[in-house]
Amino acid sequence: MNERAPPGVNEELYCVCLDAGTRPEETAIVKLINAMDKDRNVAGCCGEITVDKALAPKNVFYNWYVASQDFEYKVGNCLDKAFESVCGYISVLPGAFSAYRWSALSPPELGATSDKRPIVPYFKSVTHGGVINPFYGNMYLAEDRILALELVCSRTAANTLKYVKNSVAVTDVPDSCAALIKQRRRWMNGSFFAQIFALWQGLLLFRIFTTRHSWFRKLILMNELL
């Protein structure tokens, strides 16, 4: 039986992505939901992911691979994601720790079975039902980048993506050369082809200009993609 929530209670549905090995702080997920609750245009958001120092405190200072990743995460969060958040388009909401508004992933006006829903390309690598070419095979290694693009380029809303700096989660990271190379080979392959796809779809196919964003926002998004 479906009953409507009492007046003043938010009925919006949200989807939270969390990797095994990633541990959000006590109120981290609540802060992500609050960010979307305060602004209806925010279709998805992510927090700060940092190295789990409690798991191996000595590794952060004495293991070069762990220390370098700790620095990389700090730069990526404090500089890259903070700037992209101002523009309204974060190129990747990490699947390890992020949250989405369900009505943005699957807009009701498109119908529950429409292939034009932003969530459809996210699962395309496993639902295509045939042989996938090398370009798309590599691109869908970074399916979270594709989802970010689809949300911002949606024609049904002026979707933006946000970085919530005070929402923190810790994660375990590779502590050996072999493990790090294996992880980054997948990340770099996916991100390279996904960036080409974003440039092609967003600018060359003019998808940015068919959204409901203001023209000022469209110009900002165009410059960010370039």
SS3 category, 90? coil
Q: Which whole-number Å values give the CA distances from 220 to 35, 78, 93, 198, 224, in the listed order?
A: 21, 20, 19, 15, 6
- The structure tokens 């000595």 sit at 58
DSSP tag of 157: S
What the block records as the tokens of 208 is 């940015």
- C-alpha 4/C-alpha 146 separation (Å) is 34
Angle 92-41-34 from CA coordinates, rounded to 5°: 80
User: Is 144 among the residues known to form the active site?
Assistant: yes
Q: Which helix (H) or strand (E) holds 35?
A: helix 28-38
- Which position among 19, 80, 144, 172 bears the catalytic label? 144
**Which residues does the annotation mark as catalytic?**
144
